[in-house]
């Protein structure tokens, strides 16, 4: 049995985190925070946009803003093997 997240990473998907600020219908002057996390494909984010479409249709809370972080967007410097010797004193 294969792990779904591992298979997704092999297909190019990476961990995506969305910080969603929204207004509740009974308190429109207050902002509330919802954090969503799933494996998604940058830069199109099809899984996130499907979730946001579901939010707009099914949840009675108006979206204020969405901030996205994706592991490919904040990727650290990649290492690669090179032939040679480096002397450090």
**Residue pLDDT, tens place only, 34-75:** 999 998 988 889 999 999 999 999 998 999 999 999 876 555
13 within domain boundaries: yes
Rg (CA), the chain: 19
What does residue 28 show for φ and ψ, rounded to 5 degrees? -65, -15
Name the domain count of the chain: 1
Q: pLDDT class for 88, splitting at 50, 70, 90? A: low
Structural domain including 49 reads 4-70
85 within domain boundaries: no
pLDDT at 8: 76
24 within domain boundaries: yes
Element (H, E) at 49: helix 46-58
32 within domain boundaries: yes
Q: Is the CB of residue 31 less than 8 Å from the CB of residue 24?
A: no
Query: What pTM value is reported for the model?
Result: 0.72
22 within domain boundaries: yes
83 within domain boundaries: no
58 within domain boundaries: yes
């Amino acid at each position: 049995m294969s792990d779904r997240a591992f298979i997704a990473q092999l297909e190019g998907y990476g961990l995506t985190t969305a910080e969603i600020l929204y207004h509740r219908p009974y308190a429109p002057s207050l902002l509330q925070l919802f954090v969503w996390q799933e494996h998604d494909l940058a830069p199109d984010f099809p899984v996130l946009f499907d979730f946001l479409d579901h939010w707009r249709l099914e949840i009675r809370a108006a979206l204020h803003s969405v901030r996205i972080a994706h592991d490919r967007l904040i990727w650290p410097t990649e290492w690669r093997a090179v032939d040679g010797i480096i002397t450090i004193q």
